[in-house]
Amino acid sequence: MRKLRTVVSKDLTKLASIHAASFKKNWGQDAFAKLLEQTSNAAWLIEEDDEIAAFIVVMSSGDDLEILTIATHPDHRRKGLAKQLLLGVDGKQALGLDGNWFLEVSEENLSAVQFYENLGFLKRGVRKNYYKLDDGRRVDALVYGIKLGHLVC
């Protein structure tokens, strides 16, 4: 059974481990704690059979929402979890707001680009050489956006 709920402090170890399994530059538990101390930030997760399987951290700025990070545990990918999470948060957060979702994604993160484009996100710009990789290479960040409440199901 799946359950979407707000992240609480006892979840942070698991969030950090999913993040570590999902990104080369991972954030530790303390980084998540600091992020969530800020009142502009909020996080949700999905449990699958009582196990935390995916999460999202969002920053609000005026009427806009920025995706700071989103990840699904590698064992749970392509089961619709991240989509369900984003649609669920969109349903909760878009109420009363007239803004947009925004996010930055590496041009080399093809699965995430596909994920966002299939949800209806449109490319709004490029930040040249935004990410520095371990081998010293720099890659562009693509900026995507979509109006709140307009994600494609």
Residues forming the site for ligand COA (CB under 6 A): 22-23, 54, 70-72, 77-83, 103, 105, 109, 111-112, 114-115, 118
Q: At closest approach, how far in Å is the CB of 34 from ligand COA?
A: 19
Q: At closest approach, how far in Å is the CB of 96 from ligand COA?
A: 26
- By beta carbon distance, the residue nearest ligand COA is 111
SS3 of the chain: helix, strand, coil, percent, to 5: 30, 40, 30
With respect to ligand COA, which residue has the nearer C-beta, 33 or 110?
110
Q: At closest approach, how far in Å is the CB of 93 from ligand COA?
A: 18
With respect to ligand COA, which residue has the nearer C-beta, 10 or 78?
78
With respect to ligand COA, which residue has the nearer C-beta, 5 or 98?
5
Question: Which contacts (CB < 8 Å, 24+ apart) does range 146-150 have?
Answer: 146/100, 146/101, 146/119, 146/120, 146/121, 146/122, 147/99, 147/100, 147/101, 148/63, 148/65, 148/90, 148/93, 148/94, 148/97, 148/98, 148/99, 148/100, 148/101, 149/90, 149/91, 149/94, 150/120
With respect to ligand COA, which residue has the nearer C-beta, 27 or 36?
27
